[in-house]
Amino acid sequence: MIKLDLSHARLAQNVGTYQEAVNQAHKMLHEKSGAGNDFLGWLDWPLNYDKEELEKILKTVKNLEGQYDTVVVCGIGGSYLGARAAVEMLKGLYPLDGMECIFVGNTFSAPYIAQVLEHLNKRNVVLNVISKSGTTTETAVAFRIFEKFMIAKYGDEAQKRILVTTDKVKGTLKTLADDKGYTTFAIPDDIGGRYSVFTPVGLLPLALVGIDIKALMEGSKKAYEDLSNSDLKVNPAYQYAVARRILDDMGYKAEMFVTYHLQLTMVAEWWKQLFGESEGKEGLGLLPTSACFSTDLHSLGQFIQEGRKILFETVLDIAKMPDDVIFPDDDQNLDKMNYLSGKKLSWVNHMAMEGTLAAHSEEGRVPNIVITLEEDTAFGFGYMIYFFFKACAMSCYLLDINPFNQPGVEVYKRKMFKLLGKE
């Protein structure tokens, strides 16, 4: 389902030289003996996931069928990025079924929130608030606003249209939800935000917008099976982790995640959080950044080709995308574009990718790692997410870093709370 191509990566050493270090990190991961081992619930989750919770999700969606055309997801960081990445990758930016998915709780921006509220007046809404801690300020601020909107719009019926994903037993949000009689879905204790897409954090919004969550879990299971061997010759997730380490040692301190489809922009955002929050500690880690080509070749392309040599690129290529467009012929050919008549746009995009790969890696001397995902499906998405989980955990253990905490994020919160007058 995933192929890794390191032939353009310009690595100074063979990935195989890391086999011993990888074996040790793999052992730490699977024996749960390394740093952050109380947050390794995601590792076996594709096999051991809570089947009852999945059935509860499907039943809840069935009970709401036909009563909504808009899903509002209220959450931030790991409590929204995975769902948004899946929705956009699998349904596109303008879904044909007309089902909207709107994300709030990820910003204090008043114009954005005001505009969403205005827009929702015309829509039939289901609200899913997601917060593991139950106390995240951006989410709590938005939830109070959108909960009041729902009650004003639907009265008593709002109760069944508000769904809460949070800790199983504790926290402010859980207490609130129980008090008001909202249906709740549990986030396991041992799975942190950015590793939580396969829990109700991701599965509930995805099921609400009509994505096949069982196929998604099957994809994660296949990845679990394929990536459980520590042998670098057969494990592309570990090869990717080692290639990143080698490039870091060679002086490349930024990794640019490159996609060739606008509907993958949020996959890049999800990837940035996964690697940035997991690896950026103790003065270490690669800066995760992203670009969507060929769009951004017309903005960032110059820097990548000829600017300071600080970055390498990781290209996510998807072999089979769902739709295609044939370039039309034109009798007059005034735009001189007939040389593409009859060609598929997917082919044109692929040639742009091949050309850019050659330009950046050969002439620009920018190392390129190419990850090819076989298909843009729920199964493929599940597979890809687990691939990056495994690669990220391995990358961090190779750096001797705890992949599962984010102590640095607290600093802005302390400063902000003081200014907001929070006790």
Point out the residues that are catalytic: 277, 298, 413
User: Per CB under 6 A, which region of 10-18, 43-51, 72-80, 328-336 contacts ligand PA5?
Assistant: 72-80
Q: Which of 19, 37, 133, 289 binds ligand PA5 (CB under 6 A)?
A: 133
Under 8 Å between Cβ of 304 and 358: no
Nearer to ligand PA5, 165 or 377 (CB): 165
Should residue 367 be labelled a site residue for ligand PA5 when binding is judged by CB under 6 A?
Answer: no
Q: Which long-range contacts (CB under 8 A, 24 or more apart) does 322-325 make?
A: 322/376
Closest approach, Cβ 49 to ligand PA5, in A, equals 18
Q: Does the protein bind ligand PA5 through residue 172 (CB under 6 A)? A: no
Nearer to ligand PA5 among residue 70 and residue 131 (C-beta): 131
CB closer to ligand PA5, 64 vs 141: 141
| Cβ contact 173:166 at 8 Å | yes
Reading phi first (left if > 0) and then psi (alpha if -120 to 50, else beta), residue 36 is in left
> What distance in Å separates the CA atoms of residue 274 and residue 147, rounded to the nearest whole number?
29
CB atoms within 10 A of CB 411: 9
* Beta carbon nearer to ligand PA5, 257 or 404: 404
Radius of gyration of the chain (CA): 22
The residue within the footprint of ligand PA5, chosen from 10, 29, 72, 79 (CB under 6 A), is: 79
The size of the interface with ligand PA5 (CB under 6 A), counted in residues, is 14
76 counts as binding ligand PA5 under rule CB under 6 A: yes
The closest residue (CB) to ligand PA5 is 193
Query: How far apart are CB 51 and ligand PA5 at their closest, in Å?
Result: 23
Q: List the one residue from 60, 70, 128, 139 that touches ligand PA5 (CB under 6 A).
A: 139
Pair type for strands 183-187 and 254-259 = unpaired
User: Whose Cβ is closer to ligand PA5: residue 236's or residue 285's?
Assistant: 285
Tell me: does residue 259 bind ligand PA5 (CB under 6 A).
no
The binding site for ligand PA5 (CB under 6 A) comprises 76-79, 131-133, 136, 139, 192-194, 277, 406
